[in-house]
Amino acid sequence: MQQPTIIGRAANVSGFTVLTSVLVFGALFGFIGAIIGVPIAAGVQIILDQVTAARRGRIAAADRQGPA
């Protein structure tokens, strides 16, 4: 079963995320949900990566300033 790997590489998400999003969105919204599940999961992952990177940047800046 190579589909999750191929779709995951194209969307830059793991195979687990692909399978989980297809199963969850497919169960909730049927066939259309299974189709749009991977792009939605990829979008959520991008948002979480950006939020995490911004938080890490703030922590690093606070560490460079030293003790308050």
| Cβ pair 28, 22 in contact under 8 A | no
Integer angstrom CA distances of residue 66 from 14, 57, 58, 59: 38, 15, 13, 11
Residue written as token pair 């890490």: 56
What is the pLDDT confidence band of residue 11, given thresholds at 50, 70 and 90? low
Residue 8 has a pLDDT of 59
The span from the CA of 38 to the CA of 40, in Å, is 5
In tens, the pLDDT along 30-62 reads: 999 988 998 898 888 888 888 998 888 888 888
Stated pTM of the model: 0.66
Residue 33 has a pLDDT of 92
Length of the chain: 68
Round the average pLDDT of the chain to a whole number and report it. 82
| Cβ pair 48, 65 in contact under 8 A | no
Q: Where are the domains of the chain?
A: 3-65
